A and B are shown apart, each in its own frame.
Chain A
Amino acid sequence: GEDVEQSLFLSVREGDSSVINCTYTDSSSTYLYWYKQEPGAGLQLLTYIFSNMDMKQDQRLTVLLNKKDKHLSLRIADTQTGDSAIYFCAESTPNDYKLSFGAGTTVTVRA
């Protein structure tokens, strides 16, 4: 079965890098996703990585995948106040359209 876990809170200073961590348990995962949710809004897909990749970079976002430890991380470079939000990681498994979501990490950016 799928079980995705995240730490609940992260506080970071503006301009620093943020690193949000996630662990998953299903070894047959195909894609792993990061979503962002701002207050009172829906989820916005930030990026995803295929399970045979180690890293993916997209502007200020870097995703690292450690398949051995089933560990996924999202690094946000030069964190801004607009990055304050809840970040969810999610996984999908082969031939299943459902996603399993973690509980979300609330990121607070302080001046």
Chain B
Amino acid sequence: DGGITQSPKYLFRKEGQNVTLSCEQNLNHDAMYWYRQDPGQGLRLIYYSQIVNDFQKGDIAEGYSVSREKKESFPLTVTSAQKNPTAFYLCASSPTGTGIYEQYFGPGTRLTVT
């Protein structure tokens, strides 16, 4: 059963702590993405990776970091430098060789920082 998993579904942290959100896919997709969604707003791209060991900043990368050591995994670390980390975080993946770059999304992680 192919898909994207994100864990945990809910995450609570104290201000000043770094936290890592997990994203795993078994769709054999080369590209992976992290988005942030705030209430009443669309999706904003944080980081994306088109291939293993390579990634690029999106529109709102400040205060976040990623790694892409394996094709299946693209973890996102929310650092203490991120000023407003409370949000809904979505991970996605897409194929790259077909010309159609449709993205498939995980169920999301809701992060609350107090």
Enumerate chain A interface residues (CB-CB to B < 8 A): 30-31, 33, 35, 40-45, 48, 88, 92, 96-99, 101-104
Contact indicator A97/B101 (Cβ below 8 Å) = yes
Enumerate chain B interface residues (CB-CB to A < 8 A): 4, 6, 31, 33, 41-43, 45, 48, 50, 58, 90, 92, 94, 96, 99-108, 110
Contact indicator A44/B105 (Cβ below 8 Å) = yes
**A13–B39 alpha-carbon span in the complex (Å):** 25
Partner of B90, one of A43, A97, A102: A43
Instruction: Report the nearest B residue to A43, measured CB to CB.
Output: B105
Q: Top 5 nearest A-B pairs by Cβ distance?
A: A42-B105, A103-B42, A43-B105, A101-B43, A42-B107
B99: which A residues are within 8 A, CB to CB?
30
B100: which A residues are within 8 A, CB to CB?
31, 48
**A70–B94 alpha-carbon span in the complex (Å):** 25
